[in-house]
Amino acid sequence: MAAITDRQRLAYANAQAADGRVNLEFETDEGMTLNMGPQHPATHGTLRIVVKLDGEQVLSCEPVMGYMHRGYEKLTEVRTYPQVTTLINRIDWLGSFANEVPFILAAERLMEIEAPPRAQWIRTALFELSRIANISLFVGDMALHIGAMTAAFYAFRDREFVLNQIEAATGGRFHPNFDRIGGLKDDLPKGWIADTKAAMERIRDFCDEMEILVEGNEIFEARTRGIGVIPAEVAMQFGLTGANLRASGVDWDLRRDEPVGLAWNEVDWNVITHPDGDSFARFWVRLQEIRESTRIVDQLLDGLPAGPYMAKVPRIIKVPEGEAWVATENPLGEMGYYVVSQGGLGPFRVKIRTASFNNVSVVPWVCRGVYVPDVITILASLYFILGDIDR
C-alpha cells in the first residue's frame, strides 16, 4: 500500500499514547499496576480490575465497577408494577426469567394474592430452565478462560435448545417478561412438555461431555485445584450465595430451605455441596447443579397440576402499603427484592439485592497473593454478570 497519510499517522500515535496510559503504569515503590478491563476478554462484561503486582504475584486487587450501572433502583420508582418486570428482566441477562420471580412474589405477598398451583409449577420449571441456560454458558465460559475454546462452542450449541423451549413457552428468547402478579401471562403451548424433556436429555449429555472434556483435563485441574480458596466463614461474612457458598461446604439452598411458595419441595432433588472452596469446587458444583435442574424440570413437567394459570387480580394493579422481602435462589446466587409500597401504582422504593454484587466483593480478599493468571480463573469461577453487579 501507499504511504500512510498524516491523519492516519496521527491517529496511530494518539492510540499508542492512549494505550500506554490505560494499560500499564509503572510505579517505583509499590510494584506494577496492571489494568484489566473495562473491555477485557477475560472479564465477561465491562468489569475493570486494577491489580497491583510484584512480579507475577498480586499484591492487591481492586475491582472498578459502574460501567454497566443503569440505575435500576431509581427507575423502578417511576414505573408501575407491570412495567418494572420488563425492566428487571435485564439485570441478570442470562437467566432473565429468574429475575422476575422474586419481585412478583414480593408484590403478591403485599397484595395477599397467591398464584394457583399450576402457575407456581410452571414458574418453577421456567426458573430452572433459565438456570440451565445461564449455567451451561458458565461451563463453557470457564473453560474458555482456562484456554479451551471448544467448550464454549459446545455450550452455545446446547444452550440454544433450552432457549428454544423458553421462547416457545414465553415468546421471548432472552427476556421473557412472562410472569404476572397472580400467575403467568399464558399457559404452556401444545407439545412443549415432550420437547422440553428431549432438551433436558440433551443437556444431560452435554454435562457428561463437559465432564470428560473439561473436568478430567489435567491442565484444567492444575489451573483450578487449590486456587482461590474461600473458607465458609469468609463466604458468609461477605454474603456469598449460590454455588459459591455451596462450593465452600455450606449446605444452604433457598430452593430447599425457603421455597416461598414455588414448587421445589414437591419434587426430589439434591443440594450439591463441595468441601474444598476452590475454583474447581465452584465449577464442579455448578456443573452438577445443571444435572439436578434437568431432573427438577423433568419431574415438574410430569406432575404438572391442572387448573387455572392466573389468579383473580384487579385490572389495575395497586399494591397496598407495606414492606416485603422475597429472595430466591437464582442461577448466580440469592437474589432478593425489598419492595416498599405506599399504595401507588408503582413501588416507592425497591432495594435489589443481587448475588453477583456480594459474590464479587470477595475478589479483593481472595486475590491477594495469587498469580496473575489465577485472577482470571478466580473471576471466572466466581461467575458474575455485570448487569447483576452494577444494576
Partner 1 sequence: MGLVESGKLPKPLTSLLNTSRKYSIWIFQWGLACCAIEMGAALGSPRYDVMRLGVIPLPASPRQADLVCFSGTVTDKMVPSIRRLYDQMPDPKYVISMGSCANCGGPYWDSYSVTKGVDQIVPVDVYVPGCPPRPEALLEGIVLLQERIGKEDMAERWRGEPIVVS
Partner 2 sequence: MSSPEAPATEEAEAPVTDEVREEVLAELREDLGDAIVGTHIVPGQDLWVRVTKDAWQQAGFALRDGAGFKMFEFVSAIDWLPSPWGKSEDSPTDEVVETEPAEIVTGYAGGDTRFQVFARAHSQTRKMGVTLKVDVPEDDFSLPTWIPVFAGANWHERETREMFGIDFVGHPHLVNIYLPGEFEGHPLRKDFPLLARHVKPWPGIVDIEPMPGDESEEGEEG
Residues in contact with partner 1 by CB under 8 A are 1-2, 5, 7-8, 11-12, 14-15, 18-19, 22, 38-39, 44-46, 66-71, 74-75, 78, 86-87, 90, 93-94, 137, 152-153, 156-157, 160, 173-175, 386-387
The residue within the footprint of partner 2, chosen from 182, 242, 333, 387 (CB under 8 A), is 182
Q: Tell me how far, at minimum, the Cβ of 345 lies from partner 2, in Å.
A: 6
Q: Is the peptide bond before 314 cis (omega within 30 degrees of 0)?
A: no
Would you say 245 or 300 has its CB closer to partner 2?
245
Q: Three-class SS string for 305-325?
A: CCCCCECCCCCCCCCCCEEEE
- Nearest CA to 256 among 248, 267, 245? 267
Residue 374 found at the interface with partner 2 (CB under 8 A) = no
160 in Cβ contact with 94 (< 8 Å): no
Measured in whole angstroms, the distance separating CA 96 from the mean position of its chain's CA atoms is 9
Contact between 111 and 103 under an 8 Å Cβ cutoff? The reply is: no
Q: Is 89 in contact with 177 (CB distance < 8 Å)?
A: yes
Are the C-beta atoms of residues 110 and 350 closer than 8 Å to each other?
no
Q: What minimum distance in Å lies between the beta carbon of 341 and partner 1? A: 21
With CB under 5 to 8 Å by kind, the binding choice for 342 among partner 2, partner 1, none is partner 2
Return the number of other C-beta atoms located less than 10 Å from residue 133's C-beta.
28
Q: Where are the beta strands (DSSP E) in 198-295?
A: none
185 lies in the binding site for partner 2 (CB under 8 A):
yes
Query: Three cell numbers at 328?
Result: 430466591
Cell numbers of 135, please? Answer: 449455567
**Interacting residue with partner 2 among 30, 54, 205, 321 (CB under 8 A):** 321
Using rule CB under 8 A, residue 128 touches partner 2? no
Q: Name the binder of 76 from partner 2, partner 1, none, CB < 5-8 A by kind.
A: none
- Shortest distance in whole angstroms from residue 72 CB to partner 1: 9
Cβ distance to partner 2 smaller for residue 168 or 310? 310
Considering only CA atoms, which of 228, 268, 235 is closest in space to residue 251?
Answer: 235
Nearer to partner 1, 15 or 219 (CB): 15
Cβ-Cβ contacts under 8 Å for 232 (sequence gap 6 or more)? 245, 248, 249, 250, 277
Q: Which is nearer to partner 2, 36 or 142 (CB)?
A: 36
The 233-262 site mask, x for binding partner 2 (CB under 8 A), equals -x-xxxxx---------x-x----xx--x-
Which one of 97, 280, 284, 309 is in contact with partner 2 (CB under 8 A)?
309
Describe the strand order of the beta sheet including 24-26 as a list of residue ranges. 24-26, 32-36, 48-54, 57-64
Q: Which is nearer to partner 1, 139 or 272 (CB)?
A: 139
Residues at the interface with partner 2 (CB under 8 A): 65-66, 69, 71, 73-75, 77-78, 80, 82-83, 108-109, 112, 114, 180, 182-186, 234, 236-240, 250, 252, 257-258, 261, 308-310, 312-313, 315-316, 321-325, 327, 334, 336, 338, 340, 342, 344-346, 349, 351, 353, 357-358, 361-362, 365, 390
